[in-house]
């Protein structure tokens, strides 16, 4: 399966396998590399499932990521 042409480095995308929104850091034939919105370890996502995030999904994901970091005692 081919990668959605709207998935480019720097855009935000949804990985429904992990229920996460991330920023695209790299794209290759069989993997898309995503980084959490607040930074942190990147993860590989399967192109067959990844799709561009809507502005609303990004807006909703940012507070969730901030809250998750604060519960872990992360940086804020």
Residue 13 pLDDT greater than 80, yes or no? yes
Mean pLDDT of 43-65: 90
Mean confidence (pLDDT) of the chain: 87
- Domain span at residue 47 reads 12-72
Examine residue 7 and state whether it is found in any structural domain, yes or no: no
Examine residue 6 and state whether it is found in any structural domain, yes or no: no
Tokens 């940086």 label which residue?
Answer: 75
Examine residue 32 and state whether it is found in any structural domain, yes or no: yes
How many domains, in total, are found in the chain? 1
Residue 35 pLDDT greater than 70, yes or no? yes
pLDDT at position 11: 97
* Measured torsion, CA atoms of residues 17, 20, 23, 26, in degrees rounded to the nearest 10: -20
Exposed, middle or buried, 63 (CB in 10 Å: 0-12/13-18/19+)?
Answer: exposed
Examine residue 3 and state whether it is found in any structural domain, yes or no: no
């Amino acid at each position: 399966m081919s990668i959605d042409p709207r998935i480019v480095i720097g855009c935000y995308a949804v990985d429904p396998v992990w229920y996460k929104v991330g920023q695209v850091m790299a794209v290759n034939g069989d993997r898309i590399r995503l980084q959490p919105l607040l930074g942190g370890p990147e993860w590989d996502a399967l192109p067959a499932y990844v799709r561009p995030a809507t502005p609303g999904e990004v807006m909703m994901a940012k507070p969730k990521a901030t809250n998750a970091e604060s519960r872990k005692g992360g940086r804020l």
